[in-house]
């Protein structure tokens, strides 16, 4: 295969935009595409790491800042909120202004706000800075997947998306480990300071290696933007605050309102074309079976990844008397297994059915969490827990790369921005719902007594949800290259 082989869904020549600007032909030669991928994944790893790394430093942060429990919770919650809410919009901003430009803007915002978090003199400043950090993360995240699917040829996207998916999985696993080590040795502020040099490196690398793409010419539908932001905000905020508010009536009103707004949003997508605007999410995108099924899968994985680390870390700390760093070290077998296998799985994706590989991964994750839950409930000891954690890393390696490949590889380039926005939004919604649901089960079961049993019973909820991911993965078919664009009819 030649490095310069063209993707069927792209033109064979550079695309000239207004003002005679010439854009590079897609896909890129692989010697150019891989450095661009690495540059994108540096920042992507960092912003996903921040979802879990801060949780481990929470006790030290609370002691140092003399903060209330509610304030500390909001340090994590506001990041997830401002990260999740605008993702549908930021995915399309990449189409409008170019994914490279939006990525760089997001990384600059994320890096500066990370510095502000570390320097924060009080909790209010820290919470505001974390909110801005989430906005930066929302800007850059969809651009990574959208760019990868443009710069790599169809038959090589599996390996490339394998690296992208593995980056997401490793970031989720590495957070508790790095958070424990950094907090114990240098203090909670360095959880944020470490982002600054990495952010600078990412910006420089993206500016050097990532190409520009022709921008979207039609305006995005403004009503769709408003509806998506309000609907996602209502849903995320309700699930974040539900447990603390005792699931009061106003929480349920927000949830119902969110679903009503989502229904209106879907209707508005069909109306946007009539007004001459671009729909935020073209409904045609859901005709691609693997895309629809893949979004179901990633929501179940988001549920699991966000919901299970807290009870696992609490189990090691409270049931076995470990400190944050020692509990973090218990996650190392999981991270090592994922790191070793992920490159192999990425290559395997291009040679086989990624849906089947994802189903294998989801099954392994479900089995490992079940084993870990039984270990917590019946006190089978740390050796069995380490075996379960190792299996969890194995399962993670077989989920992220195959699922992201199966979901996105069929889409034509015109849908990449919207598809990436939808994919990342569903993952984040799954994360918010998972954290809320498993947290609620922990509270209920802790009131009944034994800590180990409470944590074990809570993570069994993730096992039940993962069954949906297994079924959806098995229903996915083999990816097929997007059909080439039809040539315009010849003029008489």
Q: What is the CATH number for 43?
A: 1.20.1250.20
Segment 428-440 shows an average pLDDT of 87
For residues 480 and 409, what is the distance between their CA atoms, to the nearest angstrom? 8
Does 50 share its domain with 83?
yes
Coil/strand/helix, residue 351:
coil
Does 103 share its domain with 166?
yes
Task: Tell whether 93 is covered by a domain.
Answer: yes
Contacts (Cβ under 8 Å, ≥6 apart) of 486 = none
- State the total domains in the chain: 2
User: 20: alpha, beta or left, given left = phi > 0 and alpha = psi -120 to 50?
Assistant: left
Q: Which helix (H) or strand (E) holds 22?
A: strand 22-23
Highest mean pLDDT among 147-156, 236-245, 296-305: 296-305
Task: Tell whether 18 is covered by a domain.
Answer: no
Burial zone of 267 (CB within 10 Å; 0-12 exposed, 13-18 middle, 19+ buried)? exposed
Does 121 share its domain with 131?
yes
Task: Tell whether 103 is covered by a domain.
Answer: yes
Task: Tell whether 243 is covered by a domain.
Answer: yes
Task: Tell whether 485 is covered by a domain.
Answer: no
Q: What percent of the chain has pLDDT over 90?
A: 39
Does 126 share its domain with 266?
no
Task: Give tens-digit pLDDT for 216-244.
Answer: 667 788 999 999 999 999 999 998 888 78
Confidence of residue 12 (pLDDT cuts 50, 70, 90): very low
Last residue in a domain, options 233, 261, 279: 279
Does 125 share its domain with 266?
no
Segment 35-62 shows an average pLDDT of 85
Task: Tell whether 483 is covered by a domain.
Answer: no
* pTM exceeds 0.85, yes or no: no
Q: What is the pLDDT of residue 15?
A: 41
Task: Give tens-digit pLDDT for 109-136.
Answer: 999 999 999 999 999 999 999 999 999 9
6: pLDDT strictly greater than 70:
no
Question: What's the chain's average pLDDT?
Answer: 85
For residues 333 and 396, what is the distance between their CA atoms, to the nearest angstrom? 12
For residues 374 and 385, what is the distance between their CA atoms, to the nearest angstrom? 9
Residue 140 token pair: 């850059």
Task: Tell whether 400 is covered by a domain.
Answer: yes
For residues 370 and 315, what is the distance between their CA atoms, to the nearest angstrom? 15
Does 215 share its domain with 228?
no
For residues 106 and 80, what is the distance between their CA atoms, to the nearest angstrom? 15
27: pLDDT strictly greater than 60:
yes
359: pLDDT strictly greater than 90:
yes
> How many CB atoms sit inside 10 A of residue 259's CB?
12
Coil/strand/helix, residue 476:
coil
Residues of the domain holding 268: 221-279
Last residue in a domain, options 279, 307, 326: 279
- According to DSSP, the residues that pair with 278 across neighbouring strands are 220
């Amino acid at each position: 295969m030649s490095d310069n082989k063209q993707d069927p869904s792209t033109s064979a020549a550079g695309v000239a935009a207004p003002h005679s600007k010439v854009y590079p032909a897609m896909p890129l030669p692989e010697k150019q595409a891989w450095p661009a991928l690495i540059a994108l994944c540096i920042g992507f790893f960092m912003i996903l790491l921040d979802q879990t790394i801060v949780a481990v430093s929470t006790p030290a942060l609370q002691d140092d800042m003399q903060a209330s429990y509610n304030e500390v919770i909001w340090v994590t919650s506001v990041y997830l909120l401002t990260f999740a809410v605008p993702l549908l919009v930021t995915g399309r901003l990449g189409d409008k202004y170019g994914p490279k430009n939006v990525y760089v803007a997001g990384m600059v915002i994320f890096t500066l706000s990370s510095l502000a978090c570390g320097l924060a003199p009080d909790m209010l400043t820290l919470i505001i800075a974390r909110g801005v950090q989430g906005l930066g993360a929302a800007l850059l995240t969809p651009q990574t997947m959208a760019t990868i699917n443009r710069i790599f040829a169809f038959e090589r996207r599996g390996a490339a998306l394998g690296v992208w998916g593995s980056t997401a999985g490793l970031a989720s696993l590495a957070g508790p480990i790095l958070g424990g080590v950094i907090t114990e040795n240098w203090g909670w502020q360095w959880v944020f300071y470490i982002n600054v040099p990495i952010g600078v490196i990412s910006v420089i690398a993206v500016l050097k290696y990532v190409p520009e793409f022709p921008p979207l010419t039609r305006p995005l539908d403004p009503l769709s933007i408003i509806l998506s932001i309000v609907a996602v905000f209502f849903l995320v905020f309700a699930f974040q605050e539900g447990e603390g508010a005792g699931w009061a009536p106003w929480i349920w009103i927000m949830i119902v309102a969110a679903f009503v707004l989502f229904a209106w949003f879907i209707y508005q997508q069909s109306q946007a074309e009539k007004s001459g605007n671009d729909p935020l999410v073209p409904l045609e995108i859901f005709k691609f079976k693997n895309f629809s099924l893949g979004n179901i899968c990633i929501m179940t994985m988001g549920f699991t990844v966000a919901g299970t680390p807290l009870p696992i870390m609490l189990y090691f700390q409270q049931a076995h008397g470990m400190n944050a760093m020692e509990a973090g070290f218990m996650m190392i077998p999981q991270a090592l297994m994922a790191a070793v296998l992920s490159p192999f799985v990425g290559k395997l994706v291009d040679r086989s059915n990624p849906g089947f590989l994802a189903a294998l991964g989801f099954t392994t994750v479900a089995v490992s969490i079940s084993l870990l839950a039984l270990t917590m409930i019946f006190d089978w000891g740390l050796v069995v827990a380490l075996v379960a954690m190792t299996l969890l890393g194995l399962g993670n390696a077989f989920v992220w790369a195959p699922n992201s490949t199966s979901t996105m590889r069929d889409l034509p380039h015109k849908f990449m921005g919207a598809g990436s926005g939808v994919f990342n939004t569903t993952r984040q919604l799954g994360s918010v719902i998972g954290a809320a649901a498993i947290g609620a089960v922990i509270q209920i079961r802790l009131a009944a007594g034994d800590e180990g049993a409470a944590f074990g019973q809570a993570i069994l909820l993730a096992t039940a949800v993962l069954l949906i991911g297994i079924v959806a993965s098995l229903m996915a078919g083999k990816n097929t290259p997007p059909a080439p664009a039809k040539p315009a009819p010849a003029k008489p």
